[in-house]
Chains A and B, each alone.
Chain A
């Protein structure tokens, strides 16, 4: 066996072996000579064997995900619902965001708003947001093609959307509730999470029944770098990814960029006022999106005419209020069944 990597190749080193009692030295099988520093590292370090395997089993995005979990806990502790808005460049994210902020300021003045704007360069978008009166921080990624969790953590520290919520009597209750949920998420394996979500939704309905009128105290919009590929992989600590697709783009984008549509909870089809001038097939686009993500929710709107905006605003403020479609209900049912089966096997 090769002493360098443990492979089965029979090279010159076949005659050399690391002797268990030779302190990591290579032993010449013929003469019994000891060769320190003759191994792969070409250096002898006391206490270190020459070549060894180290079990790692670590997620490449682990460092990012840890910060993202921290962000999530931080957001929840402050009653902030964070949304990661992703799309290709030119889909109208910023236009939609400006229209959304103005509408929320009018119809839901109790909800605090803040925006983190991600672009490679310029502060044009943050300037447009600030013109609405909402606080915004521009994050320029330089050559980066996506925002990551540490960027969002730093940007959030410079915003103060949570100040609005400070001083509320029930704030502490909320903190405890959310911290508790987090512990649960850590302890449960992936397959159990769906069940957990159901419990969560159920709790939510329950809360509504008891007359809690502050489902969302504060909204943080994170406008990611315009890119339908890379941002799909980076968790920022958001409650949901929202993928925005304008009807001036191809209706097959969900198939071309499936990872992003699979990662999103909601797809918003924008610029629907232009549909009469285009050959965009809305139904086909929705079918494609559901191919890669059967549970995705879909809204259609025009930020210019305001058509469809109310459903979007409702989703922002009452995220669980949209009736699940029959497909979603069926998925939920089957996923619960699957989780039960898996639990039975384990």
Chain B
């Protein structure tokens, strides 16, 4: 359940932002969690709800973007989309793939008050 640690990381990012640009609470938290980030979204949502009470995140709406996994297929010499690690290239069926994106795990922006 590393999602609880990640939720703590999210809170840290938010609290650091509150030091730079003071605000009372977060209305909306916008995250980006790529398909290849190794994060279970349901667990992350649960963890964020669990740590929110008493923090700046209490009552915040949660928006999570899930960028597709992108990989360079060495057989096709082209970039392809994959849903998860270990998937074959959708066009040639081989596994010579070098992931290029979709492992993002970021706080994108906040709506605050």
Q: Are B109 and A294 in contact (CB under 8 A)?
A: no
Q: Are B9 and A54 in contact (CB under 8 A)?
A: no
Measured CA separation A330–B28 after assembly (Å): 46
Measured CA separation A110–B86 after assembly (Å): 41
Interface size class of B (residues with CB under 8 A): 35 or more
Cβ-based interface call for A62 (8 A): yes
Known contacts A145-B2, A331-B98; decide if A56 and B13 are in contact (CB<8 Å).
yes
Q: Are A54 and B97 in contact (CB under 8 A)?
A: no
Closest CB in chain A relative to B60 CB, distance in Å: 10
Q: Are A62 and B13 in contact (CB under 8 A)?
A: yes
Q: Are A145 and B1 in contact (CB under 8 A)?
A: yes
Closest CB in chain B relative to A76 CB, distance in Å: 25
Q: Are A334 and B74 in contact (CB under 8 A)?
A: yes
A residues near B105, Cβ cutoff 8 Å:
59-61, 233
* Contact among A53, A57, A64, A230 for B111, CB-based, below 8 A: A53
Q: Are B6 and A60 in contact (CB under 8 A)?
A: yes
Cβ-based interface call for A242 (8 A): no
Q: Are A51 and B5 in contact (CB under 8 A)?
A: no
Q: Are A58 and B107 in contact (CB under 8 A)?
A: yes
Using CB atoms, name the residue of chain A closest to B3.
A230
Q: Are A292 and B86 in contact (CB under 8 A)?
A: yes
The 8 closest A-B pairs by CB, nearest first: A230-B2, A258-B85, A41-B113, A259-B38, A40-B113, A291-B95, A60-B9, A56-B107
A residues near B99, Cβ cutoff 8 Å:
262
B residues near A55, Cβ cutoff 8 Å:
108-109
Using CB atoms, name the residue of chain B closest to A60.
B9
Cβ-based interface call for B23 (8 A): yes
Using CB atoms, name the residue of chain B closest to A295.
B98
Q: Are B24 and A146 in contact (CB under 8 A)?
A: no
B residues near A157, Cβ cutoff 8 Å:
none
Residue interface mask A111-131, B partner, CB < 8 A = 1: 000000000000000000000
Measured CA separation A335–B77 after assembly (Å): 10
Measured CA separation A40–B25 after assembly (Å): 9
Known contacts A48-B22, A294-B95, A334-B74; decide if A53 and B9 are in contact (CB<8 Å).
no
Q: Are B107 and A5 in contact (CB under 8 A)?
A: no
Q: Are B72 and A334 in contact (CB under 8 A)?
A: yes
Closest CB in chain B relative to A25 CB, distance in Å: 13
A residues near B110, Cβ cutoff 8 Å:
53-54, 56
Closest CB in chain B relative to A189 CB, distance in Å: 12
Cβ-based interface call for A192 (8 A): no
Using CB atoms, name the residue of chain A closest to B44.
A60
Cβ-based interface call for B112 (8 A): yes
Q: Are A54 and B109 in contact (CB under 8 A)?
A: yes
Q: Are B112 and A294 in contact (CB under 8 A)?
A: no
* Contact among B1, B22, B86, B111 for A51, CB-based, below 8 A: B111
Closest CB in chain A relative to B20 CB, distance in Å: 9
Measured CA separation A53–B111 after assembly (Å): 4
Closest CB in chain A relative to B23 CB, distance in Å: 7
B residues near A254, Cβ cutoff 8 Å:
86
| Sample (19) of A-B pairs whose CB atoms are under 8 Å apart | A5-B61, A5-B111, A40-B113, A48-B22, A51-B113, A52-B112, A58-B107, A60-B9, A60-B105, A61-B6, A144-B5, A145-B2, A258-B84, A262-B85, A291-B95, A294-B95, A294-B96, A330-B74, A338-B98
